Chains A and B, each alone.
Chain A
Amino acid sequence: MPRWLDVFYWPIITIFVWGFIASYLKGPEMRSSEFLGAMLLGAITFWMIFQRAQQDLSIAYLQDIWSRSIVNLYVSPLTNLEFIIASVLVGLIKILITLFVMAGLAFILYSFNLFTMGFAIIPFVAMLLIFAWSLGLFSTGIIFRFGTDAQIIAFSISFILQPFVAVFYPLSILPFWIQPISLAFPITYVFEGMREVIATGIFNWSLFAWSFGLNIVYMILCGAFFGAMFNHVKKKGLLSKLE
């Protein structure tokens, strides 16, 4: 699978993402270079936060699988929920550091102050993190089920979504038939909302509500999927064979 991803998937995704960005930039609408710079820097900062949070949860499990130490965790009184909460808290610290480093560099190097978004940054980041952790649970469930043969999913799942969730361009740039797919992901609303805040300074509560509602649904579905995969692995006796 990694070879197929290398040969086909990544080039296709890259050309789509950059193609959509190019379509947006050459569009008829007049945009200031200041707005474009802020939009792109804001988008990449938020994207990095999302990607790191998604990978952190899966990698926390993978590190124990790689070192063949996962059995030690599961023969202790530690529960899955405690492990997940601990991984999320450690991830949160790393993400806060990432956020401040990226925001600081954007300010020093390009005079872009991420924090001019004001309080909006908090709900935006919260929505990104909740979806990232849901996806982290989903990809960990896949790794439990298929072992480390499927570990590529921990690193690639966020990129699979990237063209659809309108990170670097507005939703309206996407072909008409892709837009309903995009709207099924909570972070599409975050990136749309971010652009609106940068352009108008107004926080769109409706976009936030959609993002929040969808996040609840994804959290429940991904949590249930993780639980089902974990139970499946215990039933098949594969937990101690994960490597």
Chain B
Amino acid sequence: MLYSSNMENILEVKNLYKFYKSFEALKGISFNLKHGETLGLLGPNGAGKTTTIQILLQLITPEKGVVNIFGKDAFKNREYVLQRMNFTSAYVHMFGALSVYENLKVFALLYGIKGSEKINQLIKEFDAEDLRNKKAQTLSSGQLTRVMIIKALLNDPDLLLLDEPTSSLDPEMASKFREILKEVRKKRNISILYTSHNMAEIEEMCDRVIFLSHGEIVANDTPQKLTQIIPDHTLRVEFFEKPEKIESFLSDRKIDAQLENNILSIITADEAIPILLQEMYNAGYKIKDISIDEPDLEDVFLKFAREAEKK
């Protein structure tokens, strides 16, 4: 599904191709990002996520395709678009010999930000006062990620590209990061392109998700709609005692299930669950507890990843 081009789009990518010799990293992908929207870019390793992000950042030149950012051709207006964007990744470091503050000062100046007010404000927001005078080379990966996030927010970007931003953070700091990002997004209506291997995080943060596989977009929708791709739910039924003749009950209905410690696990369609439970009740099974696991983005990711492996 493609979104139509309109004035609300802060980013428009059309027919983007990238080849590395005979390897087709991107096969003409097209997508957009609306003003204030958070878009998740997902896919297995080698799907083309990093190539896409690096093309948007102009670290890689594509073979073919159009990238419009803030309504302008990104390749012809490099300085203009990069001035209003920022980026962070768990895989990028800072200049090791300088302190955190000195690094942030250098990056602030690259974006034309004078004075220390913005740096001090972000250092405070991210509880990084203790890191201020530490040399960047002495930071742990979690500390470095925190500082890199501060760097990414220095220029109050309109478009933020985040490549696995929380992968080195502990759960508390990752949660704090998400809260701050939500706050920044709310205040400034910022647009975000987000990659992460944490599906719960993507579900929490993203308004829309694009799945890439072998350089192609295989899905482009909201996390809620994407989970509907997988119709099956996992129904767990716990009985008071071992259910008698449950095998024949299941085989009559051609249902695959696993019974372990009086708990029956069945993978079935959402709409079949009430009927099945009613039939169990009618058959006299004494049910102690019921739980239903809905498919989540991780299941969708695994489905696409398995399909990609088969190709």
Min C-beta distance of A63 to chain B, whole Å: 7
Per the 8 Å Cβ criterion, residues 41-98 of B in contact with A are 51, 54, 57-61, 78-80, 82-83, 85-87, 89, 91-97
B57: contacting residue among A68, A75, A236, CB under 8 A: A75
* Binary flags per residue of A209-243, CB closer than 8 Å to B gives 1, else 0: 00000000000000000000001001111011000
State whether A231 touches B61 (Cβ < 8 A).
yes
State whether B95 touches A75 (Cβ < 8 A).
no
> Can you name the residue of chain A whose Cβ is closest to the Cβ of B84?
A77
Min C-beta distance of A132 to chain B, whole Å: 24
State whether B92 touches A237 (Cβ < 8 A).
no
Min C-beta distance of A74 to chain B, whole Å: 6
Is A200 part of the contact surface with B, judged by Cβ < 8 Å?
no
Q: How many A-B residue pairs have CB under 8 A?
A: 75
Query: In the bound complex, how far is the Cα of B116 from the Cα of A197, in angstroms?
Result: 51
State whether B61 touches A76 (Cβ < 8 A).
no
> Can you name the residue of chain A whose Cβ is closest to the Cβ of B25?
A237
> Can you name the residue of chain B whose Cβ is closest to the Cβ of A72?
B92
Q: A78-B110, A234-B60, A236-B20 are in contact. Are A72 and B51 (CB under 8 A)?
A: no
Min C-beta distance of A208 to chain B, whole Å: 38
State whether B110 touches A237 (Cβ < 8 A).
no
Min C-beta distance of B101 to chain A, whole Å: 15
Is A32 part of the contact surface with B, judged by Cβ < 8 Å?
no
Query: In the bound complex, how far is the Cα of B250 from the Cα of A130, in angstroms?
Result: 85
Is B126 part of the contact surface with A, judged by Cβ < 8 Å?
no
List residues of chain B with CB within 8 A of the CB of A78.
110
Q: A68-B92, A71-B92 are in contact. Are A237 and B60 (CB under 8 A)?
A: yes
Is B111 part of the contact surface with A, judged by Cβ < 8 Å?
yes
Query: In the bound complex, how far is the Cα of B58 from the Cα of A234, in angstroms?
Result: 8
Per the 8 Å Cβ criterion, residues 81-133 of B in contact with A are 82-83, 85-87, 89, 91-97, 107, 110-112
Query: In the bound complex, how far is the Cα of B123 from the Cα of A196, in angstroms?
Result: 60
Is B151 part of the contact surface with A, judged by Cβ < 8 Å?
yes
Query: In the bound complex, how far is the Cα of B94 from the Cα of A76, in angstroms?
Result: 14
> Can you name the residue of chain B whose Cβ is closest to the Cβ of A73?
B110
Q: A67-B94, A67-B137 are in contact. Are A77 and B59 (CB under 8 A)?
A: no
List residues of chain A with CB within 8 A of the CB of B96.
66-67, 69
State whether A64 touches B59 (Cβ < 8 A).
no
A72: contacting residue among B18, B25, B94, CB under 8 A: B94
> Can you name the residue of chain B whose Cβ is closest to the Cβ of A231?
B61
A interface, size bucket: 20 to 34
> Can you name the residue of chain A whose Cβ is closest to the Cβ of B80?
A77
Is A79 part of the contact surface with B, judged by Cβ < 8 Å?
yes
Query: In the bound complex, how far is the Cα of B91 from the Cα of A67, in angstroms?
Result: 11
> Can you name the residue of chain B whose Cβ is closest to the Cβ of A76?
B110
State whether B61 touches A79 (Cβ < 8 A).
no
State whether A76 touches B111 (Cβ < 8 A).
yes
Query: In the bound complex, how far is the Cα of B146 from the Cα of A222, in angstroms?
Result: 40
Min C-beta distance of B145 to chain A, whole Å: 14
List residues of chain A with CB within 8 A of the CB of B89.
71
Of the candidates A72, A79, A236, the one having the most CB atoms from chain B within 10 angstroms of its own CB is A72
> Can you name the residue of chain B whose Cβ is closest to the Cβ of A74?
B59
Query: In the bound complex, how far is the Cα of B91 from the Cα of A69, in angstroms?
Result: 10
State whether A72 touches B151 (Cβ < 8 A).
yes
State whether B82 touches A240 (Cβ < 8 A).
no
A68: contacting residue among B25, B51, B86, B93, CB under 8 A: B93
List residues of chain A with CB within 8 A of the CB of B93.
67-69
The 5 closest A-B pairs by CB, nearest first: A68-B93, A76-B110, A77-B79, A67-B96, A77-B82
Complex A-B: 28 CB contacts under 8 Å: A63-B95, A67-B97, A71-B92, A72-B94, A72-B107, A72-B151, A74-B57, A74-B58, A74-B59, A75-B58, A75-B85, A75-B87, A76-B107, A77-B78, A77-B110, A77-B111, A79-B79, A231-B61, A235-B61, A237-B25, A237-B51, A237-B54, A237-B59, A237-B60, A239-B59, A239-B60, A240-B54, A240-B91
Other CB < 8 Å A-B pairs besides A67-B93, A77-B82, 9 of them? A64-B95, A67-B95, A68-B91, A69-B96, A77-B78, A77-B79, A234-B59, A234-B60, A239-B54
Chain B residues with CB under 8 Å of chain A are 18, 20, 25, 51, 54, 57-61, 78-80, 82-83, 85-87, 89, 91-97, 107, 110-112, 136-137, 151
